[in-house]
Structure 1
Amino acid sequence: MGDLRMSLRNMIVATLALVAFSTVAMGSWPLERWTVQVVNGLGGGQTLLAHCKSKNDDLGDHNLATGALFSFTFKDNVWQTTEFWCTLTKPNNAHASFDVYWYDTSKDQWLYTRCGDHTCVWIGKDDGVYIKNASTNQDELVHPWE
Structure 2
Amino acid sequence: MGKYGEKPCQWHNGDKDIDQVRSLASFLEAPSKGLRCYLLERDCPPGGAVSTELLQAVHDSHCWVLLITPNFLKDDWCLYQMHQVLSEGPISQRIIPTVLNIPRSELPQELRFVFSVDLNRNIEGGYNQVYKTVIHYLKDMLEKEESCNVAVR
Greater helix fraction, Structure 1 or Structure 2: 2
TM-score scaled by length of structure 2: 0.27
TM-score scaled by length of structure 1: 0.28
Which one has a bigger Cα radius of gyration?
1
